[in-house]
Amino acid sequence: MLERMPPVSSEIAIAANRFGLGLRPDNPPSGKTANWLSAQIDRYDPRPAAMAALPTRATLIQSLQELQELQRVKRAEAASADDETAMAEKVLKNYRKSLRDHYAEAVDARLQVAIASQTDFAERLVHFWANHFAVSTDKVQIIALAGNYEFDAIRPYVFGKFGDLLKSAVKHPTMLLYLDQAQSIGPDSALAKRVNARRDVDLGLNENLAREILELHTLGVRTVYAQEDVTEFARALTGHTITGLARGQIRRFIDGNTPAGEMVFVDAIHQPGARRVIGNSYTQSGAAQADAILSNLATHPATAKHIAMKLATHFVADTPPPALVAKLEKDFLKTGGDLKSLYRVLLSAPEAWAAGQAKFKSPWEWTVSALRALNLKQLGANKQGPAAVFVQMGQPIWKPGSPAGFGDQAKDWAGPAALMRRVETAGRLAKLTAGRIDARMLAPAILPGTLDPRTAEHIARAESPEQGLALLLVAPEFLRR
């Protein structure tokens, strides 16, 4: 039976695919599409149950502390009896596994929220900003913490001011660990002076976070800063560290009553004195100095340009229309980085609703939209959970491998091997539906107005219902948005 679906305009397809995570046939949108998207701004839940149920950061940090302690003990007793070494190895293995389990649990929570979401434009924004302020689990300490970072530092701030989101992200314990800020010490700070004089060591600066804030998070590369601005900003940032994992010398200055895994400002490691960053002087002392710099960076014209370009590239096209970018940039400057206002400008711009499919979905976007289309909650029986599937598809969640995050253009995702992985995954997902779904009916429902008649014909001629579904999921119009 080939029942015709009621006609729907392609405006719905654009709203659901370009701006959302794909249509769920069991829960089609109603009302005017543009309103339907902007209404999500108010309906968005920053703390869904699946995420609220995850272990707290204090618990995660405690696991990390215990692991570090075990590794220390193991090193100290390396010469001891063989059976003890074997025992210690076993305990260590269990701890490492528990870190990976925390990670897998968080990936699954992210996936479940995305699959079920009725505010999927908002979820897309969360994923966008988490990637803009990327951390990466190729650093072992980040494995268990990456989920907590997105849920705590990004989710609650995506509809506020950009400056608040920036501060929340770069001062989160996970970011301080990832870009080495937690260990950066002012060369003339009280601690460095004492320790460096007493012992023959050099405690000092690490400019990693300062550089990436300027280059990736705010102004953008090749804009208005120079090496000296990076170094000055790095000096201003010293003092930001975290409880629980700090090294010995720093630990003594941290109030023992602060729970583990919190960001703290330790004046004894802060580089004293005024700083000069991109032509402005900052005479504040303590944490207020870096805050003042971050506030200025957040509203700088170069930042407005950078964010406008990135947002338009993410949603609309690999080379977005200059008029759209200009509108976004203007609004960002006018409102001082009010993100709600910025999204409304995006949604009301005619350039953002141009017909056609200019974007190639990332593996994450494609997988989530496929699961929503098929009304599936899982990627199939796999011991390591969904996390492993994203590794195979070339986009391991929270592991972009660099602070720049994952690429956001077709050239980053449309490769021969990547396409093969999608076909394999599509075949597997189709099997999970066990013949419950007729691809011929599903196709026009999830691709209203964009389904090519030739694709419909290939689906109709498939040798089995499963094969038809797999073809739908890898059809050109479902790979793009």
By CB under 8 A, tell whether 207 contacts another protein.
Answer: yes
The C-alpha atoms of residue 455 and residue 453 are separated, in whole angstroms, by 5
Positive or negative, the CA dihedral 6, 360, 437, 27 is negative
Q: How far is the CB of 457 from another protein (least distance, A)?
A: 10
Q: How far is the CB of 410 from another protein (least distance, A)?
A: 8
Q: How far is the CB of 239 from another protein (least distance, A)?
A: 13
Q: How far is the CB of 201 from another protein (least distance, A)?
A: 9
Residue 70 phi/psi, 5-degree rounding, is -60, -40
Q: Select the span of 161-169, 181-189, 281-289, 330-338 touching another protein (CB under 8 A).
A: 181-189
By CB under 8 A, tell whether 424 contacts another protein.
Answer: yes
Q: Select the span of 56-64, 88-96, 305-313, 469-477 touching another protein (CB under 8 A).
A: 469-477
By CB under 8 A, tell whether 474 contacts another protein.
Answer: yes
Please pick, from the candidates 56, 283, 285, 392, the single residue that binds another protein as defined by CB under 8 A.
392
Q: How far is the CB of 380 from another protein (least distance, A)?
A: 9
Choice between 243 and 395, CB closer to another protein? 395
Please pick, from the candidates 3, 26, 82, 463, the single residue that binds another protein as defined by CB under 8 A.
463
Choice between 58 and 226, CB closer to another protein? 226
By CB under 8 A, tell whether 188 contacts another protein.
Answer: no
Please pick, from the candidates 107, 175, 266, 471, the single residue that binds another protein as defined by CB under 8 A.
471
How far CA 15 is from CA of 20, 29, 40, in Å, comes to 6, 10, 12
Tokens of 33: 């599409």
The C-alpha atoms of residue 108 and residue 386 are separated, in whole angstroms, by 7
Number of residues that bind another protein (CB under 8 A): 59
Contacts of 388 by beta carbon, 8 Å cutoff, 6+ apart: 382
The C-alpha atoms of residue 4 and residue 12 are separated, in whole angstroms, by 18
Residue 128 · residue 44 · CB < 8 Å: no
Please pick, from the candidates 259, 273, 301, 415, the single residue that binds another protein as defined by CB under 8 A.
415
The C-alpha atoms of residue 422 and residue 59 are separated, in whole angstroms, by 36
The C-alpha atoms of residue 363 and residue 367 are separated, in whole angstroms, by 6
Task: Provide the mask over 223-262, with x wherever binding to another protein is found by CB under 8 A and - wherever it is not.
Answer: ----x--x--------------------------------
Residue 147 · residue 109 · CB < 8 Å: yes
Q: How far is the CB of 451 from another protein (least distance, A)?
A: 13
By CB under 8 A, tell whether 417 contacts another protein.
Answer: yes
By CB under 8 A, tell whether 420 contacts another protein.
Answer: yes
Tokens of 219: 């102004």
By CB under 8 A, tell whether 462 contacts another protein.
Answer: yes
By CB under 8 A, tell whether 336 contacts another protein.
Answer: no
By CB under 8 A, tell whether 410 contacts another protein.
Answer: yes
Residue 13 · residue 478 · CB < 8 Å: no
Give the SS3 label for residue 208: helix
**3-class SS letters over 7-66:** CCCHHHHHHHHHCCCCCCCCCCCCCCHHHHHHHHHHHCCCCCHHHHCCCCHHHHHHHHHH
The C-alpha atoms of residue 44 and residue 23 are separated, in whole angstroms, by 17
By CB under 8 A, tell whether 273 contacts another protein.
Answer: no
Q: Select the span of 26-34, 57-65, 303-311, 384-392 touching another protein (CB under 8 A).
A: 384-392
Element (H, E) at 470: helix 465-473
Choice between 52 and 414, CB closer to another protein? 414
User: Interface residues with another protein (CB under 8 A)?
Assistant: 138, 179-180, 183-185, 187, 192, 202-208, 211, 215, 221-222, 227, 230, 388-389, 392-394, 401-402, 404, 410-421, 423-428, 454-455, 458, 462-463, 467, 470-471, 474-476, 479
